[in-house]
Amino acid sequence: MYHLNSSGNIFSGLKEMLEPFSSAKFLIVADTNVDKLYSDKLAAAIEKETFKCVIPSGEKSKSVDTAVKIWSALAKYEFTRDDIIIALGGGVVGDIVGFAAATYLRGIRYINVPTTLLAMVDSSVGGKTGVDIPEGKNLVGAFHKPLFTFTDIRTLDTLPESEIKNGIGEIIKYYALTGSKLIHSYFPQIFTERFSLLLQACISFKNELISEDFNDNGVRQFLNFGHTLGHVIEKHSDYQIPHGEAVAIGMCKITKWAEEKGLTEKGTFETISDLCKDTGLATDYELSADELLKSAVHDKKRRGNILNLVLLRKIGEPFLYESKIS
């Protein structure tokens, strides 16, 4: 269930959504940046017994060590399966909290409250959770659905421009996969009075694929367009290139590669590249597509020596392509 709030006070309506869980305690997990801005406001909106766990900001917090910190907080406050963790923040917080919830007591409930554009349109929806290990991004994780996702778009007011661009990378991905005129109409000026419609269009498409393929064995893999190369770029840059920008580069490089092989309609790369450039996103990286693919040996979509790549026949027509790992 996804709730989008853009009226009333910040986080208004959340209290009512929590009424069925009147006996629950709540642990708010936020990073150091978001904690200063929103933890107290969220606790005030909940109006129930709440505790807090603060983690460092940044991708490097998406680790087993951070999961241990969250597990220890849950144990300290004597949380049971009747209680609830709340992920307040971006994709890193959402992923690590979901993973902690999936594994503590073999599974307790959690809620996503995304505060970045990237998390709103992507990571807070779908129940994918995980941590990074030295060998790669998201290699350890679990599928664990949140009770619901509660988004208040006013949290975007405090985002730096770099984080807005991070989210736009994923929105361009949704356009590439769907060819949606609604999504395309928002570029390059993405924030308009109808902005909530854009979020809903992206989320509806993602939910449609998830409802058909929750465990990511079929059409849900389309959502990984640009991610196979993007994750390698993130790791190679020591996470100095953020996820959304890495995905943008990944989409451009894999589409150009596919055009050169005759797998994708000519002009598709130019369309995606132009959208990225119009919104200030990078479109290239120092490693070639072939070099990046050789480094994708730990990708989750690998089966034996076959790597399933998400390619486009053209804008709006994704397909899975089996590439052999040499």
Nearest residue to 254 (alpha-carbon basis) of 295, 277, 226: 226
Global pTM reads 0.88
Cα three-residue angle 222-192-224, rounded to 5 degrees? 10
Task: Please tell me the predicted confidence (pLDDT) of residue 311.
Answer: 97
- Hey, what amino acid is at 108? I
Q: Please check whether residue 50 is in contact with residue 26, taking contact to mean a CB–CB distance below 8 angstroms.
A: yes
Task: Please tell me the predicted confidence (pLDDT) of residue 326.
Answer: 58
Q: Please check whether residue 59 is in contact with residue 91, taking contact to mean a CB–CB distance below 8 angstroms.
A: no
CATH superfamily for 160-324 is Dehydroquinate synthase-like - alpha domain (1.20.1090.10)
- Rounded mean pLDDT for each run of 10 residues along the chain, 326 residues in total: 77 93 96 97 93 95 97 98 97 97 98 95 92 90 95 90 88 94 72 77 91 89 94 91 94 96 97 92 91 74 74 97 74
Sheet harboring 84-89: ordered strands across? 2-5, 149-152, 109-114, 84-89, 26-31, 50-55
CATH 1.20.1090.10 boundaries in the chain: 160-324
Q: Please check whether residue 318 is in contact with residue 177, taking contact to mean a CB–CB distance below 8 angstroms.
A: yes
Q: Please check whether residue 175 is in contact with residue 315, taking contact to mean a CB–CB distance below 8 angstroms.
A: yes
- Hey, what amino acid is at 100? A
Q: Token pair for residue 250?
A: 């990944």
- The three state secondary structure string of the chain is CEEEECCCCCCCCHHHHCHHHCCCCEEEEEEHHHHHHHHHHHHHHHCCCEEEEEECCCHHHCCHHHHHHHHHHHHHCCCCCCCEEEEEECHHHHHHHHHHHHHHHHCCEEEEEECCHHHHHHHCCCCEEEEEECCEEEEEEEECCCCCEEEEHHHHHHCCHHHHHHHHHHHHHHHHHHCCHHHHCCCCCCCCCCHHHHHHHHHHHHHHHHHHCCCCCCHHHHHHCCHHHHHHHHHHCCCCCCHHHHHHHHHHHHHHHHHHCCCCCCCHHHHHHHHHHHCCCCCCCCCCHHHHHHCCCCCCCEECCEEEEEEEEECCEEEEEEEECC
CATH 3.40.50.1970 boundaries in the chain: 2-157
How many angstroms separate the CA atoms of 44 and 50, rounded?
9
Task: Please tell me the predicted confidence (pLDDT) of residue 80.
Answer: 97
Q: Please check whether residue 51 is in contact with residue 28, taking contact to mean a CB–CB distance below 8 angstroms.
A: yes
Q: How far apart are the first and last CA of the chain?
A: 42
Task: Please tell me the predicted confidence (pLDDT) of residue 282.
Answer: 94
How many angstroms separate the CA atoms of 160 and 156, rounded?
9
- Phi, psi for 88 (deg, rounded to 5): -110, 105
Q: Please check whether residue 173 is in contact with residue 225, taking contact to mean a CB–CB distance below 8 angstroms.
A: yes
Q: Token pair for residue 161?
A: 């421009």
Task: Please tell me the predicted confidence (pLDDT) of residue 325.
Answer: 64
Q: Please check whether residue 281 is in contact with residue 165, taking contact to mean a CB–CB distance below 8 angstroms.
A: yes
Which overall architecture, per CATH, does domain 2-157 show? 3-Layer(aba) Sandwich (3.40)
Q: Please check whether residue 307 is in contact with residue 299, taking contact to mean a CB–CB distance below 8 angstroms.
A: yes
Task: Please tell me the predicted confidence (pLDDT) of residue 29.
Answer: 98
